[in-house]
Amino acid sequence: MAGDLALASYHDLKGKMIMQVNMKKGNGKNSITSKQFNRGLIFQLIATGTCNTRIELSRRTGLAKTTVTNIVAEFMEKGIVKECEEELTEVCGRNPIILKVADQAPKIIGILVFRTNIQAVLCSLDMQIFRTETIEFGELTGDILIQNAFELIDRMMEEEKNILGIGIASIGPVDIRNGIILNPPRFYGVKHVPIKEAIQKKYNLPVYFDHDNNCAALAEKLFGIGKAEQDFLLLAVSNGIGSGFVCGGEVFHSHRGFETELGHVSINCKGLQCSCGNRGCLEMYASSYVVREKLKKITGLNLSYADYFKIHDRPEVEDILEEMIQDISAGLVSIINMLQPEMIVLGYDGIDWPEDYVKKLEILINDRKIAQDGWNIPVKKAYFGKQAQLVGAAALVVNSIFKGELQFFV
């Protein structure tokens, strides 16, 4: 139960171990001071499906077989991990016993604050989705927003009482360190909402908070299309344009705790005035809202963003969509030349793009990037699709387990 679970700080161990997990070489620790870290590492490999036997865990981490066996035994005793026999094959011999997250293991809740609604998800520790709920915004204040969050969490807890923690993802800008939604543009004038503190106080559970696109990048890194990559950029196209960046296998956060803002990279210094104060920001030209408004005006049709792609064979529609790809590529190339990502991941309304538009963007950025080294930067859609930000909110909790910060038991 949640009351039996302990939240343990790992900061005092930073000087005693390397925090970054190198999956290829393995860096599990055999010293007793590293027990929390080892538990987190072993659980990460099981929950993400990277390793599913004790032998694989030992080989991947470099931990002694007895250490792995003892940790797995602890997990099984507490109902966190279970053994199951792999499906029968035509190969002779004994079927291997594999390890998975147990059905009775604690669950996690994710909350996503979006521009038009607030969403909740109930997940297992290996990111299996059990339930989602949404409340659409009408009138909105900071207090109403917090009450909506409470209502959704209560609904999730009606189905599952054994909750390990709650993750919150929000549109930005946000103060990640203090869990505050600062001043998102076009958000009913709502500002400075201490949502993390409010939820933590009401539910007395570990609560984690981050920008929605950082959360999406985290979900894709841990469980999705970015599992094998160390550096990638998530591009989220919606009413604005956002981004999340994974660098060296970790989601990037500035020292001050702010997120990356690709949508506010200027592609025209004398361009349109943006609400952020800058001119020519990418999202002023290529957000799904702006593109849809252009298409409505030129076609006289009131279609969804996705449905306009179905009539892209009309020359006037194709011209606007082509301009959108050109503008996005201009912003992306600037970022690629600075950060050198291995992959671009499309999220939110980018999921609606037909594959030929995805390929057009990939060709443009690779033709225009400065490093013509034969390395092609692929552009791929997020594994979790339009739910990447929501699932990513829940992934904040799981990530704290993987790092050894949040413990199932002391």
pLDDT at 127 over 80: yes
Quote the pTM value.
0.88
The predicted pLDDT at position 149 comes to 98
pLDDT at 375 over 50: yes
**How far apart are the C-alpha atoms of 53 and 21, rounded to whole Å?**
19
CB atoms within 10 A of CB 255: 6
pLDDT at 41 over 80: yes
**How far apart are the C-alpha atoms of 19 and 40, rounded to whole Å?**
11
Q: Where in the chain is the domain with CATH 3.30.420.40?
A: 107-216+390-400, 226-382
Mean pLDDT, to the nearest integer, of 136-144? 94
**How far apart are the C-alpha atoms of 158 and 164, rounded to whole Å?**
15
Q: Is the dihedral of CA 344, 345, 350, 353 positive or negative?
A: positive
Q: Which residue has the higher pLDDT, 260 or 103?
A: 103
279-338: pLDDT as tens digits: 999 999 999 999 999 999 999 999 999 999 999 999 999 999 999 999 999 999 999 999
With cut-offs at 50, 70 and 90, classify the pLDDT of residue 110: very high
| E-strand stretches of 124-240 | 129-136, 163-170, 174-175, 180-181, 207-211, 232-237
The predicted pLDDT at position 2 comes to 38
Q: Which CATH architecture has domain 107-216+390-400?
A: 2-Layer Sandwich (3.30)
Report phi then psi at 349, rounded to 5.
Answer: -70, -10
Largest CA distance in the chain: 71
For 300-338, give one letter per residue: b (16+ CB within 10 A) or e.
eeeeebeebbeebeeeebeebbeebbebbbbbbbbbbee
| E-strand stretches of 2-114 | 81-85, 97-101, 107-113
For 98-134, give one letter per residue: b (16+ CB within 10 A) or e.
bbebbeebbbbbbbbbbbeebbbbbbbbbbeeeebee
Q: Where in the chain is the domain with CATH 1.10.10.10?
A: 2-104
The predicted pLDDT at position 308 comes to 97
Question: Which CATH code is given to the segment(s) 2-104?
Answer: 1.10.10.10
- Number of residues assigned to the chain: 410
The predicted pLDDT at position 255 comes to 74
The predicted pLDDT at position 275 comes to 82
The predicted pLDDT at position 21 comes to 37
* DSSP symbols for 204-216: -S-EEEEEHHHHH
With cut-offs at 50, 70 and 90, classify the pLDDT of residue 92: low
179-205: pLDDT as tens digits: 999 988 889 899 999 999 999 999 999
With cut-offs at 50, 70 and 90, classify the pLDDT of residue 35: confident
Superfamily the domain 226-382 falls into: ATPase, nucleotide binding domain (3.30.420.40)
The predicted pLDDT at position 387 comes to 96
